[in-house]
Amino acid sequence: MTSFTESRAGLSDDPLHAGSHSHSADATEPHTEPPPAISAGFEVRVQYAAIDAGTELAPIVRNPNVGAVVNFLGVVRNEGDVDDVVALEVEHYPTMTEQALWSIVEEASARWRLEAVRIVHRVGRIPLGQAVVLVVVAAAHRGSAFDACEFLMDFLKTHAPFWKKEIRHDGESGWVEAKTHDDQAMRRWG
């Protein structure tokens, strides 16, 4: 299997357009840039490789409009539905996953004024202590960044087609059950 990557003309991925977001605000330049939209700095990605939070954060922090960056990192822990967990196996529904994550990001962008959002979700086998998911939200101020990050995680947990299986030390495994408190957390957003 291969990892599926999708990004929409992110500043960080396209050196030709690096910095174009801030230039477009310059009235002396001809207005050749597309209108501001959910594009630059917004990215969702599903990957088999380990998540490197520092690398993901760096281009977001460089954005001069960003004053607050909130990160959520979900990590494989020892005790879930069962104890003695040594790894997770994460399965997903390719194409639908990316589409679902994008619609969650679009909803967050409609509710808060955000400069950047990056969601990276790992799939395949993930050992204890390693990251399963990274959500980075950047805004001018911390209030919207904190709120949007919580919103994104609540919706990811209930709307994005991922399934986790816990692998125990003795080799036994079992699918993680969906939690009612995750549904409740999602509903508070109306």
Partner 1 sequence: MKLTIKYFASIREQLDTDEEIVEIDAHELTVDALRSTLAARDARSAEALRMDRPVRAAVNLEMVTGGFVVREDSEVAFFPPVTGG
Which residues here bind partner 1, judged by CB under 8 A?
A: 74, 90-93, 95-96, 99-100, 121, 132-133, 153, 156-165, 175-179
Q: How far is the CB of 146 from partner 1 (least distance, A)?
A: 17
Q: What CA–CA distance (Å, rounded) separates 73 from 51? A: 10
Residue nearer to partner 1 on the CB measure, 126 or 145: 126
Q: How far is the CB of 109 from partner 1 (least distance, A)?
A: 19
Q: What CA–CA distance (Å, rounded) separates 89 from 126? A: 6
Buried/exposed 81-120: b ≥16 CB within 10 Å, e otherwise: eeeebbbbebebeeeebbebbbebbebbeeebebbbbbbb
Residue nearer to partner 1 on the CB measure, 78 or 95: 95
Q: How far is the CB of 95 from partner 1 (least distance, A)?
A: 6
Residue 133: partners with Cβ closer than 8 Å, 6 or more residues away: 51, 72, 73, 74, 119, 120, 121, 122, 153, 156
Residue 185: partners with Cβ closer than 8 Å, 6 or more residues away: 154, 157
Q: How far is the CB of 100 from partner 1 (least distance, A)?
A: 8
Q: At what angle do helices 180-187 and 142-159 cross, to 10 degrees?
A: 140
Residue nearer to partner 1 on the CB measure, 26 or 177: 177
Q: How far is the CB of 51 from partner 1 (least distance, A)?
A: 13
Residue nearer to partner 1 on the CB measure, 23 or 159: 159
Residue with tokens 């679902």: 100
- What is residue 159's DSSP assignment? H
Residue nearer to partner 1 on the CB measure, 59 or 74: 74
